[in-house]
Structure 1
Amino acid sequence: MSLAPMVIEARQAVQRTASRRSTREWQALDAAHHLHPFSDAAALNAQGARVISHAEGVYLWDSDGNKIFDGMSGLWCVNIGYGRKELAETAARQMNELAYYNTFFKTTHPQVAELSALLAEVAPEGFNHVFYTNSGSEGNDTVIRMVRHYWASQGQPQRKTIIARENGYHGSTIGGASLGGMTYMHEQGDLPIPGIAHIEQPYWYANGGDLSPEEYGLKAARALEAKILELGAENVAAFIGEPIQGAGGIIIPPSTYWPEIQRICDQYGILLVADEVICGFGRTGEWFGSQYFGIRPHLMTIAKGLSSGYLPIGGVLVHDQVAKVLIEAGDFNHGFTYSGHPVAAAVAAENCVF
């Protein structure tokens, strides 16, 4: 039998049997073949994974018929809820028109151009360019390369170090996990990579002691200045932080924290990067968490709410100050097969009009 009929037969067999499987059968298949993220595989397989079968609005249903309120919005991403037929119809229409083409080789397509213009419209003033990735993790890897290329292009290649925060989360790729400040992640894979430094997180409840929230906010922010002076300002490329730390425990900084961080970045001339992967696209009541806190970043990492999780897409919004240097520097030798994927871009654009 040739390969094509074998594939068709296997697909038909899957379709026939999938609807008849029990929860235990799906759990057994999952345990036999699927390695889950951030999981103790042996413990999970012994217990059996919860099988989510469908969703609508803010509710999930598992394969045993239990209705579950999805308070976490997927993984902080399904911003407009489940079951939005407009997005499904947009994806189907785009797949039939142009399912894929890359944005390498001096090409583009209408969907990525339209989404880029829309993002420039909703982003804070001065953000007129976007570099596309498939996830927030890839976005933060892109940030590392972009800020180092930015400084090297201006004759300051020694400005490589990026300062981040303890217990911050910026993804689980080698670069993203290095930027993040979670020690249990660093213990696997000899992380962080060189050129990453960490300072105290602005967690008043745990670290504030006898200080008021406002006093502690200033203290925590000034740890950045101390680290810059320790490393030498001429060696520091950027500071990165989530407006509100998400995976680290929904840590909302004191009101004095971000204004002082902004002052320090401005004073020492380092780039300020806002990781908006969780806070972006309405989660704080503003389009971006940076706007809620009055932050003026140079780069903003985006993902999750960009498509409300309906398709994988992420990116880095780039302020004109940085974009001008990158454009004039020539080739930026970085990118991904699915950067600006037409179907993901079309769905993201439809999502952003709600």
Structure 2
Amino acid sequence: MSVPIRNHDIAELRRLDLAHHLPAQADHRLIASLGGSRIITRAEGSTIYDGEGNAILDGMAGLWCVNVGYGREELAKAAYEQMLELPYYNTFFRTATPPTVKLATRIASKMGGHLSHVFFNSSGSEAVDTVFRLARHYWKLKGEPQRRIFISRWNAYHGSTVAGVSLGGMKAMHAQGDLPVPGVEHVMQPYLFGEAFGENPDAFAARAAQAIEDKILEVGPENVAAFIGEPVQGAGGVIIPPEGYWP
């Protein structure tokens, strides 16, 4: 899609960035020493462009979420039409909107089995917080309120809220808020290269999976609410578990 290129004042944007903007998960002192953030001005397909005109391959798809690429005219038109018709309404008051119902139906049709309902959130962190509360409430309703322990993995990333950071396994983030909160336990990550370079992949997969069962037995199966794990550890380094781990 051809769009006009705006004539941004990049130097002024970098100055204002330092003066007013706190970027996510970044060393602000380092950014200041560089004169401000790199200003990304536009994108097309899988390529982003900065204010100096450099073309950069966006191998991370934004932050893993621009899966269909940039500049998709059909998406821009659909968003424009929906914004004119109904840009927003909530679901708090026994209300729903056509896109909400239709998208939930489409997602449910792809999940199969008993996963037939979808609860929408604005971010992954918010979704994880919801799951954290929901799982504990579920066990309380089932008459097992002692099931409060979540088992996660070291070096996992599940968001930047209090519950998300607690469930994640990044120690530097734990140190920022005296986390994790009580009731969260961590086990080894299934990272063959980093944890056991040279070990037989099948043996390592079994050992990493066994660590979860060992933790369940340690804390008591009757006390466990859930295990949480990224299929692929994204922020941890795009860590793909050995083939036998998830089965």
User: Does TM, normalized by the shorter one, top 0.5?
Assistant: yes
Q: Deviations over 1:238-264 (max 9, x none)?
A: 0010111111111111112111xxxxx
TM-score (norm 1): 0.66
Q: CA deviation at 1:231?
A: 0.4
2:53 is the counterpart of 1:65: yes
Counterpart of 2:21 in structure 1 is: 34
How far has the Cα of 1:20 moved from its partner? Answer: 5.0
Structure 1, unmatched stretches of 5+, are 1-18, 260-354
Q: Say whether 1:222 aligns with 2:210.
A: yes
The structure 2 residue matched to 1:87, chosen from 75, 86, 96, is: 75
How many angstroms does 1:24 deviate by?
Answer: 1.2
Question: In 2 relative to 1, CA 20–251 (structure 1 residues): closer, same or farther, beyond 3 Å?
Answer: closer
Show the counterpart of 1:77: 65
Output aligned runs, 1:1-354, within 5 Å: 21-47=8-34, 48-208=36-196, 211-259=199-247
Q: Distance in 2 between matches of 1:77 and 1:97?
A: 25
Alpha-carbon shift at residue 176 of structure 1 (Å): 0.5
Distance 1:20 1:81, change over 3 A: closer
Q: How far 1:21 sits from its partner (Å)?
A: 4.3
Q: Over the residues paired in the alignment, what is the CA RMSD in angstroms? A: 1.4
Q: What secondary structure does 2:117 align onto?
A: strand
Kindly provide the CA deviation profile for residues 198-238 of structure 1, in whole angstroms up to 9, marking residues without a partner as x: 00001111222553000010001101111111100110010
Q: 1:183 and 1:217, CA in 2 relative to 1: closer, same or farther beyond 3 A?
A: same
TM-aligned CA distance change 1:210 to 1:53, over 3 Å: closer
Counterpart of 2:120 in 1: which secondary structure?
Answer: strand
The 3-state SS of whatever aligns with 2:144 is coil
- The letter of the residue matching 1:110 is P
Larger relative contact order, structure 1 or 2 (CA cutoff 8 Å, min sep 6): 1
Superposed structure 1 runs of 4+ greater than 6 Å apart: none
Q: Distance in 2 between matches of 1:125 and 1:31?
A: 50
CA distance in 1, matches of 2:197, 2:110: 40
The TM-score with structure 2 as length reference comes to: 0.94
Query: What letter is aligned with 1:36?
Result: P
Per-residue deviation, residues 140-198 of structure 1 (Å, max 9, x unmatched): 11110111111111000100000000001101111111000000000001110111100
- C-alpha separation between the residues in 1 aligned to 2:8 and 2:246? 52
Residue 168 of structure 2 aligns to which amino acid in structure 1? Answer: G
Match of 2:3 in 1: none
Percent sequence identity over aligned pairs: 53
Structure-2 change in CA distance of 1:225 and 1:96 (3 Å): same
Distance 1:95 1:113 in 2: 17
**What letter matches 1:253 in structure 2?**
P
